[in-house]
């Protein structure tokens, strides 16, 4: 079974502020084989409340790994059936997805305060 995972990126690493990133890495991962199948980098639409959750949902993303994300965005993702993991460390998208697949991705504090 495969799943699409979105990660906001800046300079090749996780962008700690979800709504302010210029690119999203969308990785397709095989959950049973625990491996990454593909990666596509996409430019999001202009940031406005509710835009990113709707856009990523339409991209068939089922999980967002973020450093920080506001409560409202998390709520919107939940309503769209997209899981959110916040407090992830600033690492490459591949390292984050591999850690998630292996059950070793630790989530820390949500650094977003809005």
Q: What angle do CA 4, 16, 19 make, to 5 degrees?
A: 70
pTM for this one? 0.93
- The token duo for 110 is 């949500």
| Phi-psi region at 54: left, alpha or beta (left = phi > 0; alpha = psi -120 to 50) | alpha
- The residue range of the domain holding 69 is 2-101
- 18 within a domain of the structure (yes/no): yes
- 56 within a domain of the structure (yes/no): yes
**68: CATH:** 3.30.420.130
- 107 within a domain of the structure (yes/no): no
Say how many domains are in the chain: 1
As a whole number, mean pLDDT of residues 32-60 equals 94
Instruction: Write out pLDDT tens, residues 89-114.
Output: 999 999 999 999 999 997 766 555 44
């Amino acid at each position: 079974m495969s799943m699409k995972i979105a990660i906001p990126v800046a300079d090749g690493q996780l962008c700690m502020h979800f709504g302010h990133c210029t690119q999203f890495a969308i990785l397709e991962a095989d959950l049973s084989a625990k491996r990454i199948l593909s990666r596509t980098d996409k430019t999001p639409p202009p940031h406005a409340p509710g835009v990113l959750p709707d856009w990523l949902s339409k991209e068939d993303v089922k999980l967002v790994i973020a450093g920080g994300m506001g409560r409202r965005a998390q709520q919107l993702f939940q309503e769209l059936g997209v899981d959110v993991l916040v407090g992830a460390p600033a690492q490459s998208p591949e390292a984050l997805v591999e850690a998630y697949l292996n059950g070793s991705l630790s989530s820390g504090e949500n650094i977003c305060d809005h």
